[in-house]
Structure 1
Amino acid sequence: MVPHFNFRGLWIVLFVVVLTLTSTTVTLVHSKTNAAEVSALNVMYSSLNSPSKLDGWKSSGGDPCGDSWKGIKCSGSSVTEINLSDSGLSGSMGYQLSSLTSVTYFDMSKNNLKGDIPYQLPPNALHIDLSENGFTGGVPYSISQMKDLKYLYLARNQLKGQLSDMFGQLPKLDELDLSFNQLSGNLPQSFKSLSSLTTLHLQNNQFTGSINVLANLPLDDLNVANNQFTGWIPDELKEIKDIETGGNSWSSGPAPPPPPGQKSTPRANRHSTKGAENSGLNGVAIAGIVLGVLVALAIIIALFSRRTSSPPSHFVDEERLSQRRPFTPLASQELSNDSRSEIRKDLRELRSSDSSSSIPVKGLQTFPSIGLKPPPSDRVKSFNDNEFVNHMNVKRSSSIRVTCYSLADLQTATGNFATGRLLGEGSIGRVYRAKYADGKVLAVKKIDSSFFQGTRGPDFSEIVSNISKLHHPNIAALVGYCSEQGQNMLVYEYFRNGSLHEFLHLSDDFSKPLTWNTRVRIALGTARAVEYLHEICSPSSVHKNIKSSNILLDMELNPCLSDCGLVTFHQHTSQNLGTGYNAPECTKPSAYTLKSDVYSFGVVMLELLTGRMPFDSSKPRLEQSLVRWATPQLHDIDALAKMVDPALRGLYPPKSVSRFADVIALCVQPEPEFRPPMSEVVQALVRLVQRSGMNPRGEDLSASRRMDDYDY
């Protein structure tokens, strides 16, 4: 009897086999690793000197997830973990770690990695361990943007310098280990914001000052031994179970009492929610506030009494102030909307008073005694009704500390603004050379009158006032101004050497080029100027027009950044768009930020490196944009050598060029959040100068030999 064959069962089996094969194929397809992550790991492998011990790794291409590269774990097509601890690796980690956006665990500890910690680390990492290597430099500021970071271990390296105030946006950071380095200075105030920190190891560094910023952190494990700390150990910290404080210079005797209104927080409550900490004011705090208000009122009454007995003066009319409602100290309470509107009205009336009043209001000068400090005179200040609490000095013409030139005087000095005296034309007007009978030469920027048409035009006197307060050796100094007959002009010192643009792009074939050392010094000086605008001026100022033609060179070829303080005019012009200097996010003038300036500065550095213009339509299509052409080659040693300005004739140190390129790569990142602050750029360039043995200010250059200096 012939057995009956079950075709239905066969079909089911075949279906299952096909389904399994299809599933396997799909899995293999989906295991193909994200291209950006592959590129980052390729660069990392090359930077690690392509070690054969890293099984599967390649310097080009490959599939880390599908081919199971050593130390790599994935989820789908994304790399999620990199663990190469104790792998005998040397070199560095490359410059594309920011592309590893899915990595949450990053461990490169116990190797022999050298140089600075890359400014860019995996941005979404929860766990970073770079301990027990040979890293130098400082702790990268980019860590401040890693809001999900929980564990950071940088112990047993050779890190130096002070900690930046970078810890204010790390609410999840649980463990921080910076021990056994050479870090110095006071602990940053942003440590106070580490609301989840339970473990902090700072031992065997060179930290100074007090540790009061740690008092209210939920610490269970604290080690600050073998530093240079002084002062007293806060009582709150003495309750920690695991604490090491030896090897410091602590003060003996009882600690001073806390300021009025403050009360020590019990250790038991420090692990509770913040809502419990801020649940209300205790009796001592209320008493302190009441006492402060009474003292402030007493001071105000004394001032008013003093005012009535004072002789008349040329100060702004104080009688108008006394006719207002009683003034409550701004430092003691939050102002209501009605109060704000009334004060705005008072300030507007003061601003409209006699503009010749050149001295600060007497009644306002005394308020620092109750907590309001006048703005520093060496910092830029702009008046804004929405910021009146922080800007109590009313705008006045007296704050203009430069010479007021007459229109007739400037017409004579410029030959009635003759074409032959024209130095250049920019987005806000033309610049003329003004020559006086005594031989003095100045540069006059004649601002286009269209900026001042209509009722919403900029306040020229305020612009002049703000520019006159900019004092930095690498910023072109304002000498004077003119505002007559509807014409507004700014007068600057004159630079006979012209601009960086002229040196790089307009010099003839017989001119001696800028040496490499000089180019680095120009970059550093310009970076210092931008850092001053961004991080020292208060409020910070965006330049919006950083380019080589705005970098002027003195007789020793030191740079001076021009057009500073003119951001008001650049808000109404789009001339810089499409020139190759603007960052990708700057599709319109209003989109500029501090990080946009960083990008533009990076483009200037590319000009210094390559001698090329930011955009050159005479080049082949793929080479017209300098950033697009140069960026992929910045970390390829062979390609980099071909990119360097031919005018240098090969006279440059390759390591210096490579480090210079590293800084450029950071500045021209397409995403603004991955660009470093200018202080980081300055630090990187300072280290480059120090390693090369250069003089950062260029005092070793004389006018006669400034372009023959080939010290390598």
Structure 2
Amino acid sequence: MAPNLQPLLLFIACFGVFTSIVLAKTESQDVSALNDAYKSMNSPSKLNGWSSSGGDPCGDSWDGITCKGSSVTEIKVSGRGLSGSLGYQLANLKSLTYLDVSKNNLNGNLPYQLPENLVYLDTSENDFNSNVPYSVSLMNDLTYLNFGRNNLNGELSDMFQKLSKLETIDLSSNQLTGKLPQSFANLTGLKTLHLQENQFKGSINALRDLPQIDDVNVANNQFTGWIPNELKSISNLETGGNRWSSSRAPSPPPGTRRVDRNSGGVGVNNKALTTGLIVAVSTIGGLLFTAGVIALFARRKNSHHSSHFFDEEKGGGTNRSKPLFTPQPSQMLHFDSTDDLKGQKTVDSNTLTETKPSSVNRTSSVSFKNTPIFHLIPSYQVVATPDRFFKPEVKVFTLTELQNSASCFSPNRLIGQGTLGRVYKAKYEDGRKYAVKEIDSSLLGKGNQEEFSHIVSNISSIHHQNIAELVGYCSEQGRNMLVYDYFTSGSLNRFLHQTDGFSRPLTWNTRIRIALGTAQAIEYLHEVCSPPLVHKNIKSSNILLDSELTPHLSDYGLANFHHRTSRNLGVGYNAPECADPKAYTLKSDVYSFGVVMLELLTGRMPYDSDRPKAEQSLVLWVKPKLKDMDTLEEMVDPALCGLYAPESISAFADIVSICVMSEPGLRPPMSNVVESLKRLV
């Protein structure tokens, strides 16, 4: 018996060893992310067990790494004297909840994408010099965020809408600028906020209704206005070194919620207000009940018609758009019938938010389409003049100066013509050059002045290094124009299709960088802007290149206009579902971007009637060939002269193939596309 049992025992022993190895094996994507981070940190010897390739972080207990099963859950490498950067694959650590790389000598950009499931994030006391990564907005479980004592710069984007669990924010001792985002008001769990030693400006009113906050340091910035009374009672408040007003603070607008910290965060003003509310409720209780029944019935019957504003109020009041005017104390509660709603606009989450000011008795309200609504009506009239809606840095151009600088908009200054109007080159004597886009007046409708004002106001808030930002506007004599910087290298379309590609070639690496920069711009519109901003006209002629061939996406924020034109937005760029303009979504933008990538890969136009019928549609011709390396290399732009790595071409084609999927739901979000392209740079 014993000899017969030996093979069995040997098998069991080997199987046990094999099983232990398999169970200890770390997820491959986690290993790859840590390998990349290790190399990016210059392979420090102080991190025992770490490797630049392969290895088993969980099984071999790498220094500072904690695992659960085969997944990495914590990285704690504070104060190790680390240098270099963090690489670009940390987002692949899907189970990571704790990341602490503080008190090192790390530099460069913070990773654009960080793990979404983080609860604790600390990169403080390093030398990072980028902006706060947008991916923070996706960390719904985050409770601790510390980017303090670095060299971060730029403005904070409005990224805090969904971070209600966040308890601590430290952005101190950086070079951050701009105003505090209004989404700070959504940080209902926030207790500690340190913003000292930056260059923030504007007011801090976004902080006044945070019920749990008890430690605020905003010292040594450029804040103005008044310190909200709601903050003066907290235990730790530092506000010195700012430009606070010495005059008497104005009373808050009627109806403003104010936090009484002694009542558990219940929003009240004072005893008199409470009494007044009781009287008001008693007086109009019957009316409110009746209106509520009507509204509830209408909502159930027409729930798909509810406006964007209503959805956000229902979700906890995440919409805190800055009012276009400040109501005066003399106001009254007014009830409108459904007749008063005629002509009002509801908001498509895929378009810019629109609120139209009226020139007479302008109202501020939360509107429910097809139901009665309440308004707060000012006792005075508001005249809607365009200048009052724009940020100071947006320049107002006169029609005369634009005519003079663009040779009276003569044909020789025409540099483009699209679905919305013509684009002219304006050149000033001091050397300044601008691109002036005149919006076709027929697209604006009757309220052209007011609508154009709001379009400009919304576009002017878009800021990204790969977006052609608005310089100014002109609205005179029925003509409405948007003014942008003029990009010397023209459009990507011009480079690929209107010049001799062999004499002005774009190298393969340059093409990847153009794709990445454009993808990052679209990602910003889709995943940073709130609500998400659909572009609806992504094509190579709307990707402008500067002197260093850095891409800048143009024509954004104009999707409302595109709804009103039946002209094709770009033959060959439209996704299959776009036969119905109402079906256009963010995923339709992803498809159009996939077509742009095909242009970069093949050098061909999206649609070319001069080619054989089977090759006229670029997507239809290319799709079956993307997975075969032999046929793929046959399609590559001849202007590249074979100067590319085959594996890079193959990876690029893989990204294209999922972007141009026929079914919208199968296309990836732009953040995934950005992550994939970064690996190719």
Give 1:222 deviation, angstroms: 2.0
Matched, 1:157 2:141: no
Distance in 2, matches of 1:387 and 1:44, equals 57
Pair 531,58 (structure 1): closer, same or farther in 2 beyond 3 Å: closer
Give 1:212 deviation, angstroms: 2.6
- Mapping for residues 230-245 of structure 1, pairs under 5 Å: 230-245=224-239
Tell whether the 8 Å contact from 1:39 to 1:61 is kept in structure 2 after alignment: yes
Give 1:154 deviation, angstroms: 0.6
Letter in 2 for 1:126: V
Letter in 2 for 1:672: P
Deviations 1:539-565 (A, max 9, x none): 976344523266699999998968975
Deviations 1:98-141 (A, max 9, x none): 21110000111111111221110111000000001101121112
Task: Find the partner of 1:69 among 47, 57, 62.
Answer: 62
Pair 582,96 (structure 1): closer, same or farther in 2 beyond 3 Å: farther
- Mapping for residues 521-532 of structure 1, pairs under 5 Å: none
Pair 143,575 (structure 1): closer, same or farther in 2 beyond 3 Å: same
- 1:621 aligns with 628
Pair 267,37 (structure 1): closer, same or farther in 2 beyond 3 Å: same
Tell whether the 8 Å contact from 1:230 to 1:251 is kept in structure 2 after alignment: yes
- 1:190 aligns with 183
Matched, 1:132 2:138: no
Distance in 1, matches of 2:668 and 2:242, equals 43
- 2:41 aligns with 48
Pair 535,169 (structure 1): closer, same or farther in 2 beyond 3 Å: closer
- Mapping for residues 7-156 of structure 1, pairs under 5 Å: 25-156=18-149
Distance in 2, matches of 1:537 and 1:247, equals 32
User: Runs of 5+ in structure 1 lacking a partner?
Assistant: 1-6, 293-329, 349-361, 374-383, 391-436, 448-459, 476-496, 631-642, 651-660, 685-712
Task: Find the partner of 1:672 among 669, 673, 681.
Answer: 669
Pair 347,545 (structure 1): closer, same or farther in 2 beyond 3 Å: closer
Q: Secondary structure at the match of 1:74?
A: strand
- 1:267 aligns with 261
Tell whether the 8 Å contact from 1:119 to 1:676 is kept in structure 2 after alignment: no
Give 1:16 deviation, angstroms: 11
Matched, 1:503 2:510: no
Q: Secondary structure at the match of 1:184?
A: strand
Distance in 2, matches of 1:261 and 1:139, equals 34
Distance in 2, matches of 1:147 and 1:80, equals 16
- Mapping for residues 592-611 of structure 1, pairs under 5 Å: 593-594=585-586, 597=589, 600-601=592-593, 604=596
Tell whether the 8 Å contact from 1:474 to 1:526 is kept in structure 2 after alignment: no
Pair 441,556 (structure 1): closer, same or farther in 2 beyond 3 Å: farther
Specify the structure having the higher radius of gyration (Cα): 1
Distance in 1, matches of 2:78 and 2:547, equals 53
Distance in 1, matches of 2:642 and 2:74, equals 44
- 1:542 aligns with 534
User: Runs of 5+ in structure 2 lacking a partner?
Assistant: 285-330, 345-355, 376-409, 421-439, 460-467, 471-488, 606-617, 645-651, 660-665
Pair 332,144 (structure 1): closer, same or farther in 2 beyond 3 Å: farther
Q: Greater shift after overlay, 82-91 or 15-24?
A: 15-24
Give 1:143 deviation, angstroms: 0.8
Give 1:224 deviation, angstroms: 2.0
Compute the TM-score of the two structures, normalised by the length of structure 2. Answer: 0.55
Give 1:176 deviation, angstroms: 0.8
Matched, 1:246 2:240: yes
Letter in 1 for 2:26: T
- 2:360 aligns with 366
Pair 538,113 (structure 1): closer, same or farther in 2 beyond 3 Å: closer
Distance in 1, matches of 2:555 and 2:207, equals 43
The aligned length equals 496
Tell whether the 8 Å contact from 2:443 to 2:565 is kept in structure 1 after alignment: no
- 1:283 aligns with 275
Paired-residue identity, %: 48
Compute the TM-score of the two structures, normalised by the length of structure 1. Answer: 0.53
Tell whether the 8 Å contact from 1:111 to 1:133 is kept in structure 2 after alignment: yes
Tell whether the 8 Å contact from 1:119 to 1:140 is kept in structure 2 after alignment: yes
- 1:174 aligns with 167
Tell whether the 8 Å contact from 2:88 to 2:111 is kept in structure 1 after alignment: yes
Distance in 2, matches of 1:75 and 1:670, equals 31
Q: Secondary structure at the match of 2:88?
A: coil
Distance in 1, matches of 2:232 and 2:335, equals 36
Q: Could you say what the CA RMSD is over the residues aligned between the two structures, in angstroms?
A: 6.4
Distance in 2, matches of 1:131 and 1:248, equals 24
Distance in 2, matches of 1:91 and 1:644, equals 38
Distance in 2, matches of 1:102 and 1:524, equals 26
- 1:221 aligns with 215
Q: Secondary structure at the match of 1:367?
A: coil
Give 1:194 deviation, angstroms: 0.7
Distance in 2, matches of 1:90 and 1:610, equals 40
- Mapping for residues 470-619 of structure 1, pairs under 5 Å: 500-501=492-493, 503-504=495-496, 507-508=499-500, 511-513=503-505, 542-548=534-540, 565=559, 568=563, 593-594=585-586, 597=589, 600-601=592-593, 604=596, 617=622
Tell whether the 8 Å contact from 2:335 to 2:373 is kept in structure 1 after alignment: no
Letter in 1 for 2:137: S
Distance in 1, matches of 2:64 and 2:217, equals 32
